[in-house]
A and B are shown apart, each in its own frame.
Chain A
Amino acid sequence: MSRLSNWLPTNWQWFNRLGSPRWFYHRSERWLPWLSLAALLVLATGLVWGLAFAPEDAKQGNSFRIIYIHVPAAFLAQSGYFIMAIAGAIGLIWKMKISYMVMKAAAPIGAALTFIALFTGAVWGKPTWGAYWVWDARITSMLILLFLYAGVMALQYAYHSVDAASKASAILALVGTVNIPIINKSVDWWYTLHQPATIKLTSAPSMHMDMFMPLLVMIVGFYLFYAVALILHTRNEILRRERKTSWVRELATAKAGG
């Protein structure tokens, strides 16, 4: 472990500055309009392209278009979990205030995305498979993800002390990361009703390019949307937790006066 310091940056100044809620609050104000605009444009392009211009599927017809919501939501539900768990780990190790706030902010967004993935999956499952819900490995592990997010959210309110709540949530978030590779590999490890992955890291997608390009745009759009949502939630949490500090008070007086 002593060699760990060799490959970690030795200059921690940037890291400490990023950890200052006040710095983040002011800096993110400048990022937000651009990120929001980009998210809106990319999502609008992807939606119109995917829903109106992409060709229909030879077997499934138009019902396959649910993929343009279902897959990006499922993607971000899992990426968002990593963000939440890593934020929790940084909080545990460096006691950085803002990382616990990011962790808390990530939970409801991730839970909503998981719910969207499960719900659109059910709507898609009825016309294609013939059932809204089956207990196969993919769908069950995705439901566990929803419960993990709900657990992190619930733990935040289970303690009187903010610090104890943050630590407990971070531990649950870290333990739950084990579920992510299971969700990912469930379709390969077991016989499931859910089909294997269409988008693979190692080979070309098993999808016609005219259908794949709008899906890619939607995934990028969901990432941008996620960033906007996470920053907004984190900023709220900063104001809530730092409400007694002088800079937030000044901000509040300036807003009220202006």
Chain B
Amino acid sequence: MHPLRKQRLQLVILLVAAAALVVGLVVYMLRENGNFFYTPAQIVSGEAPKSTFLRAGGMVVDGSVVRSDDSLWVQFKITDGVEMLTIEHTGILPDLFAEGEAAIASGKVDENVVLQATQILAKHDEKYTPPEVADAMNEAYKQKEAAKSGSYK
């Protein structure tokens, strides 16, 4: 390889390495601020800022959704497996919002550690399944659970 070209190749590699170092440091600095939401554990433990606008994300706890009969008010709990956080919201929920699915609520946490949400977003996972396969899997799971509870009797 021509020495001049070799020198230019070294410069190009140096340029990319320097850029990677700078951006790497910025990303390292942003590692907390880059998060889109806080987990219930971070909010309950006080790690998340209080009385300011924030987002909380977690799985909607089974059986925790309470709806109002005469308004769009809804209350539910989300969990990260460690802590639970109660969320209250008045408005229409996204189609994919369901118990056992992930959701992200944005709003302020009040003095009773209840998040008064102004917006609810549904977070879906990276799995894609046809309905028949999902039904078959649910059915198999139910039968397994039934067999388990049956054996205790």
Contacts and interface: CB of A to CB of B under 8 A. Distances in A.
Do these two chains interact?
A: yes
Interface of A: 1, 4-5, 8, 55-60, 64, 67, 89, 92-94, 127-131, 134-137, 171, 174-175, 177-179, 182, 186, 189-193, 195-198, 206-208, 210-211
B128 A198 contact: yes
Residue among A58, A186, A207 with max Cβ neighbours from chain B (10 Å):
A58
A99 to B, nearest CB: 12
Contacts of A175: 15-16, 19
Interface residues on B, range: 35 or more
DSSP majority for the B interface? mixed
Contacts of B132: 55
A27 B146 CA distance: 68
Contacts of A64: 128
Contact of A208 (B1, B23, B97, B133): B133
Interface of B: 1, 5-6, 8-12, 15-16, 19-20, 23-24, 27, 31, 34-37, 39, 57, 93-97, 101, 104, 119-135
A82 B11 CA distance: 18
Contacts of B11: 92
Contact of A59 (B24, B57, B120, B124): B124
B128 A129 contact: no
A207 B128 CA distance: 5
A118 B63 CA distance: 36
A213 B82 CA distance: 38
Contact of B96 (A60, A137, A179): A60
B12 A191 contact: no
17 contacts: A4-B9, A56-B130, A58-B131, A59-B134, A92-B11, A128-B96, A130-B94, A130-B96, A171-B15, A175-B16, A178-B24, A191-B36, A191-B57, A195-B124, A197-B126, A207-B129, A211-B130
Given A58-B133, A190-B36, A192-B36, A174 B15 contact: yes
Contacts of B94: 127-130
B134 A58 contact: yes
A195 B123 contact: yes
Given A4-B6, A93-B12, A127-B95, A57 B19 contact: no
Contact of A191 (B5, B35, B126): B35
Nearest to A8: B1
B130 A198 contact: no
B121 A134 contact: yes
B15 A207 contact: no
Contacts of A208: 128-130, 133
B123 to A, nearest CB: 6
A182 B104 CA distance: 23
Given A58-B130, A93-B9, A195-B126, A178 B23 contact: yes
Contact of A177 (B6, B16, B127, B133): B16
Contacts of A131: 119, 121
A94 B124 CA distance: 47
Nearest to B8: A93
Given A136-B36, A182-B23, A193-B121, A1 B6 contact: yes
B127 A137 contact: no
A207 B20 CA distance: 33
A190 B133 contact: no
Given A137-B36, A191-B35, A94 B5 contact: yes
Contact of A211 (B36, B37, B39, B128): B128
A174 B19 contact: yes
Nearest to A196: B126
B34 A137 contact: yes
